[in-house]
Amino acid sequence: MRKTKWSLLLVLMLTVGLVLAACSGGGNDDAEDDVEDSQEDEPKVLNLLDGAEIPTMDSSLASDAIAFQWLNETMEGLYRLGPDNLPVDGVAIKDETEISEDGTVWTFHLRDNAVWSNGDPVTANDFVFAWRRAIDPETGSEYGPFMMNGIIKNATEVNEGELPLEDLGVEALDDYTLQVTLEKAVPYFESLMTFGTFLPLNEDFVTEQGDQYALEAENLLFNGPFVMTEWKHEEGWTLEKNEDYWDADTVQLDGINIKVVKERSTAVNLYENGDIDRVGLASEDVERYRTHDDYREVPEAVLFYLKMNQAFTDGDGNETEDTPLANKDVRLAIAKAVNKQDLVDVILANGSKVSNAAVPEGFSAHPETGEDFRSINGDLLTHNVEEAQAHWADALAALGTDTVELELLGGDSDTAKEMQEYIKNQLETNLEGLTVNLTNVPFKERLDRDTNRDYELQFSGWGPDYLDPNTWLEMWTTGNGYNKMGFSNEEFDTLVEQANNELLGSPVERFEAFLEAEKVLMEDAAIAPLYQRSSAQLQRPYVKGVAIHPMGADYSYKWAYIEE
């Protein structure tokens, strides 16, 4: 996210499309005038395709790119990410935010014209309630602890049941003044306030809905640019402009219709038929459309990799005996055995780049020199069949066997299946004695199995949650809520801990600690990096103003419009 969780976990090569209603006219001048008037009155509606069902619209439970995308359109926190990817006004008026001299106390002044879709005002208590709910161990949120522990005062102790919810460092001084106290100054806290976990919730409504909250469109309240009016699970959902949104004058779209379409051929056919205004392309489509006027490649700060579970569970959360993946040589062999260049050039063919580490290029720069994080650390875990086979031989000797069988858990889209078949072939071809069994499941099921650590190898991805190298590294620390693979390295933990504590006031030393931490992570082959995603798309030229983000939601449609 990641992000992330971009993050921030993700459906591979989501086919996304925008649809416009077409109008036809008559043959005389009067008729043409009528057509012009009719077109002016025609609702400006985008029809989008998404590659999977929304796993949840409960902001306390959301942990994936699809949920955060549609929460971003229908909800609003203190700030939101603007078109230039900097935090802008949300419920809070950014220019009026007060920050204490030591950076640990933030006082947000909320606008008095932000309302919920039932007419209730959005108040400071809505944030207090939502944040307490997200950190409450009874809620079972993954991202609440992930985003708040060690950041918001007392979050860790509250989440572990050592302190009551009321001790969390968030307080409503009055209806429109929210005060947040941090454990320490956090360099990325402002961008964190744009993230979905920190959205407000209407306490009375959530309490009234009980265990039905967020299960259907009618069990939700909204305070963002759009409201969800219909949600047909596994089929699609409908958004309409929120006329009561405080900044409704900025929103030029009347609505967005979304259908779930997993088959890439179906999506491309919709574009060819004139029904779709933007569609993601798979590799076999790229050569066909590369010279098309509507073709574009959009680079993204999203990484894909293999997670390698070192402490497999039986599905009920009970750890079994160590898997072969607990052996470092096994992990190094797997990480080095896959030809990633062919993966991006042949299987994807969409502008994606090989990834050989844990932090993407073009995301974070040295605070003094401005040099890119990726340029400084270079390639750390590269494809090398000879080295992979040497590690494999050492691993088999240590395990006392000449055969190993592993499951690779991945998505069920066409592109996901194709990539997973390729990875299986590469691993089995280059590592003699290895058998890889593919398990392709819907996105929500993969997330559930990840949460339960019910997998061995997993094809996974992450988009950043905030603008800092920490979003790529902290998630692999021991016991982190996203780790979910039994990985633990004391040296790595120490470096990340230093970067987030005693080095907070020393930007250069902090950045260098992250550089060293990434090296340790790759030396231990915690994950097997594969590629940094780019999206090959066709988009009609009259679709304008869609903001593309490097963290949180991939897109914002608040500023989108249809050029007449």
pLDDT in tens, 509-542: 999 999 999 999 999 999 999 999 998 999 889 8
How do residues 364-392 score in pLDDT, each as one tens digit? Answer: 999 999 999 999 999 999 999 999 999 99
Buried b (16+ CB within 10 A) or exposed e, 477-514: beebbbbbbbbbbeebbebbbbbbeebbeeeeebbbbb
pLDDT category of residue 91 using cuts at 50, 70 and 90: very high
What pairs with residue 260 in β-bridges?
50
- Where would I find the H helices in 369-485? 373-377, 385-399, 414-430, 443-451, 470-473
Mean pLDDT score of the chain, rounded to an integer? 89
Tokens of 277: 């205004």
Residue 266's SS3 state is helix
pLDDT category of residue 48 using cuts at 50, 70 and 90: confident
Nearest to 8 by CA among 442, 454, 535, 468: 468
pLDDT for 4 equals 38
Decide if 358 contacts 335 (C-beta within 8 A).
no
The Cα angle at residue 46 between residues 44 and 47, in degrees rounded to 5: 140
Tokens of 385: 């069949």
404 burial (CB, 10 Å; 0-12 / 13-18 / 19+) is: buried
Q: Give the separation between CA 329 and CA 468, rounded to whole angstroms.
A: 31
User: Average pLDDT, stretch 155-169?
Assistant: 97
How do residues 245-273 score in pLDDT, each as one tens digit? Answer: 999 999 999 999 998 888 888 988 888 88
Residue 29 pLDDT exceeds 60 = no
Tokens of 64: 């994936």
Count helices and strands in the chain by DSSP H and E runs: 18, 21
pLDDT for 271 equals 86
Nearest to 338 by CA among 226, 430, 432, 238: 430
Q: Give the separation between CA 440 and CA 450, rounded to whole angstroms.
A: 13
pLDDT for 317 equals 57
Residue 318 pLDDT exceeds 80 = no
Q: Give the separation between CA 64 and CA 463, rounded to whole angstroms.
A: 9
Q: Cα-flanking dihedrals φ and ψ of residue 372, to 5°?
A: -65, 140
Tokens of 221: 């309240």
Contacts of 122 (CB under 8 A, 6+ apart): 91, 110, 114, 115, 116, 200, 202, 223
| 214 conformational bin, left if phi > 0, alpha if psi -120 to 50, beta if neither | left
